[in-house]
């Protein structure tokens, strides 16, 4: 606390010596210190930041956070530093950066941004960490300690000890212990104290701990042989744990890639697998789904959080309708002529691409990611799952389950299976085969559209989106076994996992080639795929 | 009857148009525009076609060139590399153009090269590239590696104190050569082999999970790490998104990109990119009178206030102005005369300085490093003190260390070995 009382004294002294010119001299109050940011050059702002931290103490935190978020502006005319946020109408609402009182609104062109760069951001985070170490909120304290932990040996040890003495939350206390131990390992001259510190952090997965141990394994980094040996043992244990988590991580990556493959291939498994139509426009139906997401976001600019929930049924309907149209206008005339169907649908795919280029422009479109899909679920400091991949994995399984229900539990599903097994017999007992064809193709296309919604969160939404996935889709369906949805599921997930386990060893380019080579060999051995259809349906 | 009259009228109109076109052609200077207007590269190249058309229009407003009007001839090589060669032949033999502005990818330029040399045409190439080339018939107005990649690495090394390096690129000639040069350069600056990680991905790669996770691991070794990215085109979007999702911010591991400019940023959600870096010779945000005028002219020409300008547009602007000046100086559009007149020509660039065409057919340029801002623009955080001369043959590759390009007498060679004093053809 000495630090703060000292700065307080300085601030008081400065107050007494008022009035000074605010521009050049030491700032007298937080408001003055903040005001100096107006018009300051990038090279100057770091110094001004130190002033703000010294003068303002914990009061400065909202200012620094607004600055870090890029919300700190100053007026073009009055030079006043404000926090500004864009509202729904495009105007900027102004607030006092310290107190938060509303100061009216302003047009963007009347505001200038307070300079911000990476080095300033780093300093801002460090300042905020120092100032929030004693905050009332647990979350605050936690992120403050995490920040300080990643810049060890910075002379913050007194502050950390003081914070540890007051800490009541278990997680934060553990982090503080780790931070203090790492600092001890770096700065403490007493070997016994260092040995004790090694024991404290021996099973921590924090990168700062691992790096410190790595440095200590060398005689240059650690003079005492006993401490060195302890560090080496701890390091070996940590490395073992990390390699376990890395395998888990790779497995997750593989399943996630597999779930994307599953999504894009499920629709094709129906049109190609069940109906036997080689639909080269499948990729474009995916693309239409992605563009539907874009249009939904365009129509509801303030509902980005819910846009995906609306986009899923919308994309199903739009892509499904386009699919039915393609079936009715082209494919039904080419029934039983696979080569002509292939050429015709390839032509359709080009038409759809060009249509999208003409309507939306050849440039990629921007699809926003809702907040609940950004970031990652942190399990520990070496293993985290990104939310977008996690949701898409669950979503792919859900789509698959619903599709199974539709095919096995509804009358549409019964008709679809009947027509695909024996068209003439189905017709003879009164199934409207034409209608079933259209509905089946619509269903497959609609699922392609849903895949497009998911892909819009992972990749670029542009006219070429579909082309990138058409090969993968056919690969999965053929590998899994034409006409078997379970084959598609197993095929997609296993190809994803194999790809991701190969990637670290071979690189992304070679991994993809190896997977293709593997599939070619596999198809030579088992031409009907992983789960071939049996019995009369196979004829 | 009605149909007949319609057909005959149409015939008269078409015939008249052909006649006037041929008459017109006699007293115009033809400017060939060889940029893809369809296919994957259309995204980037269409903008450059429009830039050339804008420059031509402006020159014609000023009264043309040598008393003649300029006539643009636009062809579409459709992002199809062999088609670039065919279209070049068509431009030079059928349309008989006097100059060509075109190409984006290195592979398209390599495809045009034999044709333009055989038919003695003139090509202005406006994109940053990997170097290791200098042709008598080509003027390179984009950056060579020493005008983009090397200063960027210097900045990271000196100002951000980066010690570990990830060189990530798309798998084709430009990233491969650039990374070879950078690897040699880093090793020459004392960076250890195990502190360099090189990674290539296919065009349009979208599943970045494991690569980003590798980068994260590589960067958590306690030393400041940076990614030098030659990742091309739209593969960048999922890459930056994945970085953001895995919690890597620009402060932890900055990414400096050589292919991400204003145009690329205009189509995407910039949130995950804020703070990452790009190295170019021009940014739209640079404050200078020339730049302001150029931006205004561009927005008016294209009729869209939201459109942005970028580095290859500046290179096209410089190239076009230099060609105009050289033609005026030579008094003819003859290739050999213009080629000689080009060397030493100086025109204003858009960042407030002057661009000079050097003997190696490369430009002198300033190098700027910018941080990406939320509005898709760049904030310049560093720039070279003066201009950097484009070096066609890198000094950091063992094969090209002793080689220079000099298109003035007595050397007149694009591939001259200063040790053996021999010229080994134009390129290889």
Give the mean pLDDT of chain B. 88
Which residues in chain B (165-224) have CB-CB distances under 8 A to chain A?
A: 171, 199-202, 204-207, 209-211, 213-214, 217, 220-222
Probe site for chain B from A45, A73, A117 (most B CB atoms < 10 A): A117
Q: Which of A107-121, A279-293, B132-146 has the lowest mean pLDDT?
A: A107-121
What are the residue ranges of helices labelled H in B249-310? Answer: 262-265, 289-302
Q: What is the pTM of this model?
A: 0.80
Using CB atoms, pick whichever of A121, A207, A246 lies closest to residue B275.
Answer: A121
Residue B17 — very low, low, confident or very high, per pLDDT cuts 50/70/90? very low
Separation between Cα atoms, residue A356 and residue A291, nearest integer Å: 9
Contacts of A507 in chain B (CB under 8 A): 199-200
Q: What is the pLDDT of residue A13?
A: 47
Chain A residue closest in CA terms to B239: A459
Please check the confidence at residue A122 and state whether its pLDDT lies above 90. Answer: no
Please check the confidence at residue B316 and state whether its pLDDT lies above 60. Answer: yes
- Cis preceding linkage at B410, omega within 30: yes
Contact between A42 and B201 using a beta-carbon 8 Å cutoff: no
Q: What is the pLDDT of residue A535?
A: 62
Q: What is the pLDDT of residue A80?
A: 85
* Region class of A293: left (phi > 0), else alpha (psi between -120 and 50), else beta: alpha
Q: How close B221 comes to chain A (CA, Å)?
A: 6
Q: What is the pLDDT of residue A228?
A: 86
Q: Which residue has the tokens 């560090």?
A: A231
DSSP letter string, A99-115 = T--EEEEE-GGGEEEPP
Contact between B234 and A508 using a beta-carbon 8 Å cutoff: no
Q: How close A509 comes to chain B (CA, Å)?
A: 6
Please check the confidence at residue B314 and state whether its pLDDT lies above 60. Answer: yes
Please check the confidence at residue B5 and state whether its pLDDT lies above 60. Answer: no
Contact between A507 and B268 using a beta-carbon 8 Å cutoff: no
Average pLDDT of span A124-153:
81
Most confident range (mean pLDDT) of A54-68, A475-489, B38-52, B99-113 is B99-113
DSSP state of B91: I
Contact between B251 and A462 using a beta-carbon 8 Å cutoff: no
Contacts of A250 in chain B (CB under 8 A): 210
- Whole-angstrom CA distances from A192 to A195, A224, A225, A260, A479 are 5, 10, 12, 54, 62
Beta bridge pairs of residue A70: none
Q: Which of A4-8, A94-98, A418-422 has the lowest mean pLDDT?
A: A4-8
Residue B22 — very low, low, confident or very high, per pLDDT cuts 50/70/90? very low
Neighbours of A226 (CB within 10 A): 13
Q: Which residue has the tokens 């990749």?
A: A459
Which H or E run includes A233? helix A225-268
Q: How close A431 comes to chain B (CA, Å)?
A: 43
Q: What is the pLDDT of residue A490?
A: 94
Separation between Cα atoms, residue B102 and residue B89, nearest integer Å: 13
Please check the confidence at residue B406 and state whether its pLDDT lies above 60. Answer: yes
Q: What is the pLDDT of residue B350?
A: 94
Q: Is A375 touching B (CB cutoff 8 A)? A: yes
Beta bridge pairs of residue B34: B75, B102
| Contact in structure between A420 and A225 (CB atoms under 8 Å) | no
Which residues in chain B (249-268) have CB-CB distances under 8 A to chain A?
A: 249-251, 254, 266-268
Contact between A214 and B214 using a beta-carbon 8 Å cutoff: no
Q: Is B161 touching A (CB cutoff 8 A)? A: no
Q: How close A97 comes to chain B (CA, Å)?
A: 20
Q: Is A368 touching B (CB cutoff 8 A)? A: yes
Separation between Cα atoms, residue A324 and residue A314, nearest integer Å: 15
CA atoms lying within 13 Å on the CB side of residue B275 = 23
Task: Encode pLDDT of A515-531 as tens digits.
Answer: 999 999 999 998 888 88
- Whole-angstrom CA distances from A416 to A12, A436, A534, B395 are 83, 6, 18, 67
Q: What is the pLDDT of residue A49?
A: 85
Please check the confidence at residue B19 and state whether its pLDDT lies above 70. Answer: no
Q: Is B95 touching A (CB cutoff 8 A)? A: no
Contacts of B238 in chain A (CB under 8 A): 458-460
Which H or E run includes A393? helix A387-409
Contacts of A70 in chain B (CB under 8 A): 274, 374
Q: What is the pLDDT of residue A153?
A: 65
Q: How close A405 comes to chain B (CA, Å)?
A: 30
Q: How close A26 comes to chain B (CA, Å)?
A: 27
Give the mean pLDDT of chain A. 85
| Contact in structure between A403 and A447 (CB atoms under 8 Å) | yes
Task: Encode pLDDT of A266-291 as tens digits.
Answer: 999 888 877 888 899 999 999 999 99
Which residues in chain A (467-486) have CB-CB distances under 8 A to chain B?
A: 468
Contacts of B242 in chain A (CB under 8 A): 386
Separation between Cα atoms, residue A85 and residue A497, nearest integer Å: 44
Separation between Cα atoms, residue B112 and residue B102, nearest integer Å: 10
Q: What ipTM was reported for this prediction?
A: 0.76
Average pLDDT of span B349-363:
93
Which H or E run includes B24? helix B2-26
Contact between A504 and B379 using a beta-carbon 8 Å cutoff: no
Q: What is the pLDDT of residue B1?
A: 43
Using CB atoms, pick whichever of B205, B221, B254 lies closest to residue A118.
Answer: B254
| Contact in structure between A178 and A211 (CB atoms under 8 Å) | no
Using CB atoms, pick whichever of B205, B247, B381 lies closest to residue A117.
Answer: B381
Q: Is B6 exposed, middle or buried (0-12, 13-18, 19+ CB in 10 A)?
A: exposed
Task: Encode pLDDT of A341-396 as tens digits.
Answer: 999 999 999 999 989 988 987 777 888 888 888 888 888 878 888 998 999 999 99
Q: Which residue has the tokens 């509005």?
A: B375
Using CB atoms, pick whichever of A365, A458, A507 lies closest to residue B200.
Answer: A507
Separation between Cα atoms, residue A281 and residue A269, nearest integer Å: 14
Q: What three-state secondary structure class fits B165? A: strand
């Amino acid at each position: 606390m000495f630090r703060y009382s000292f700065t307080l004294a300085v601030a008081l002294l400065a107050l007494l010596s008022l009035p000074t010119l605010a521009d050049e001299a030491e700032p007298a109050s937080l408001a003055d210190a903040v005001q100096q940011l107006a018009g300051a050059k990038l090279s100057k702002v770091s110094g001004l930041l130190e002033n703000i931290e010294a003068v303002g103490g914990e009061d400065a935190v909202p200012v620094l956070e607004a600055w870090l978020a890029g919300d700190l502006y100053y007026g073009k005319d009055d030079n006043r530093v404000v926090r500004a946020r864009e509202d729904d109408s495009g105007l900027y609402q102004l607030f006092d950066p310290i107190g938060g009182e509303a100061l009216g609104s302003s047009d963007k062109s009347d505001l200038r941004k307070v300079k911000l760069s990476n080095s300033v951001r780093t300093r801002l985070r460090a300042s905020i960490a120092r100032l929030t170490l004693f905050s009332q909120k647990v979350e605050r304290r936690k992120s403050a300690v995490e920040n300080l932990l990643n810049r060890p040996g910075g002379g913050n040890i007194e502050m950390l000890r003081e914070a540890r003495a007051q800490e009541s939350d278990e997680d934060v206390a553990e982090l503080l212990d780790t931070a203090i131990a790492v600092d001890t390992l770096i700065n403490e001259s007493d070997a016994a104290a260092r040995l004790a510190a090694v024991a404290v952090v021996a099973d921590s997965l924090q990168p700062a701990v691992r790096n410190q141990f790595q440095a200590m394994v060398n005689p240059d980094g650690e003079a005492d042989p006993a401490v060195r040996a302890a560090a080496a043992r701890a390091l070996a244990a940590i490395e073992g744990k990390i390699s376990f988590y890395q395998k888990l991580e790779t497995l997750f990556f593989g399943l996630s890639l597999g779930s994307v493959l599953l999504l894009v291939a499920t629709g094709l498994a129906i049109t190609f697998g069940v109906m036997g139509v080689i639909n080269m426009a499948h990729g474009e139906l995916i693309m239409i789904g992605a563009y539907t997401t874009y249009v939904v976001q365009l129509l509801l600019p303030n509902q980005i959080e819910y846009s995906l929930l609306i986009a899923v049924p919308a994309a199903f309907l739009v892509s499904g309708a386009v699919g039915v149209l393609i079936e009715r206008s082209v494919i039904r005339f080419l029934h039983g002529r696979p080569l002509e169907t292939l050429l015709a649908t390839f032509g359709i795919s080009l038409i759809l691409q060009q249509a999208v280029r003409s309507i939306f422009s050849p440039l990629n479109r921007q699809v926003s990611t809702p907040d609940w899909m950004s970031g990652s679920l942190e399990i520990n400091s070496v293993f985290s799952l990104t939310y977008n991949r996690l949701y898409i994995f669950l979503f792919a399984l859900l789509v698959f389950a619903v599709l199974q229900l539709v095919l096995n539990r509804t009358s549409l599903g019964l008709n679809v299976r009947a027509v695909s097994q024996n068209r003439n017999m189905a017709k003879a007992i009164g199934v409207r085969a034409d209608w079933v064809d259209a509905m089946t193709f619509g269903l497959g296309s609609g699922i392609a559209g849903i895949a497009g919604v998911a892909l819009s969160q992972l990749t670029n939404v542009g006219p070429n989106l579909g082309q990138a996935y058409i090969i993968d889709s056919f690969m999965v369906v053929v590998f899994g076994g034409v006409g078997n949805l379970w084959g598609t599921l197993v095929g997609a997930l296993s190809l994803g996992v194999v790809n991701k386990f190969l990637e670290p060893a071979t690189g992304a380019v070679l991994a993809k080639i190896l997977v293709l080579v593997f599939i070619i060999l596999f198809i030579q051995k088992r031409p009907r795929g992983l789960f071939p259809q049996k019995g009369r349906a196979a004829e | 009857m009605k149909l007949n009259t319609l057909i005959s009228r149409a015939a008269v109109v078409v015939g008249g148009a052909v006649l006037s076109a041929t008459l017109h052609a006699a007293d115009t200077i033809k400017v060939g525009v060889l940029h893809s207007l369809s296919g994957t590269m259309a995204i980037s190249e269409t903008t450059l076609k429009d830039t050339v058309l804008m420059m031509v229009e402006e020159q014609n407003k000023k009264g043309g060139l040598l008393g003649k009007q300029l006539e643009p001839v636009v062809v579409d090589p459709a992002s199809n590399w062999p088609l670039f060669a065919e279209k070049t032949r068509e431009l030079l033999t059928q349309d008989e153009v006097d100059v060509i502005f075109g190409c984006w990818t290195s592979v398209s330029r390599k495809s045009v090269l034999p044709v333009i040399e055989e038919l003695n045409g003139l090509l202005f190439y406006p994109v940053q590239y990997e170097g290791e080339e200098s042709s008598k018939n080509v003027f390179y107005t984009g950056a060579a590696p020493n005008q983009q990649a090397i200063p960027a690495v210097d900045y990271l090394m000196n100002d951000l104190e980066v010690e570990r390096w990830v060189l990530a690129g798309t798998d084709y000639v430009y990233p491969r050569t650039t990374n070879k040069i950078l690897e040699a350069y880093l090793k020459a600056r004392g960076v250890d082999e195990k502190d360099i990680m090189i990674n290539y991905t296919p065009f349009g790669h979208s599943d970045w999970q494991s690569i980003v996770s590798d980068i994260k691991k590589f960067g958590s070794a306690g030393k400041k790490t940076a990614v030098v990215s030659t990742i091309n085109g739209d593969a960048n979007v999922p890459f930056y998104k994945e970085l953001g999702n895995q919690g890597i911010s620009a402060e932890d591991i900055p990414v400096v990109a050589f292919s991400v400019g204003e145009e690329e940023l205009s189509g995407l959600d910039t949130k995950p990119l804020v703070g990452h870096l790009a190295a170019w010779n021009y940014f739209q945000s640079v404050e200078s009178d020339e730049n302001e005028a150029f931006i205004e002219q561009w927005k008016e020409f294209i009729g869209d206030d939201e459109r942005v300008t970028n580095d290859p547009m500046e290179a096209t602007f410089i190239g076009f102005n230099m060609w105009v000046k050289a033609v005026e100086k030579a008094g003819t559009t003859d290739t050999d005369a213009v080629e000689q007149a080009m060397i030493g020509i100086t025109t204003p660039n858009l960042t407030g300085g002057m661009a000079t065409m050097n003997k190696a057919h490369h430009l002198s340029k300033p190098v700027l490093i910018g941080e990406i801002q939320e509005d898709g623009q760049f904030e310049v955080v560093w720039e070279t003190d003066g201009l950097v001369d484009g070096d066609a043959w890198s000094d950091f590759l063992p094969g090209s260390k002793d080689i220079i390009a000099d298109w003035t007498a007595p050397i007149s060679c694009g591939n001259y070995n200063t040790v053996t004093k021999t010229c080994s053809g134009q390129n290889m």
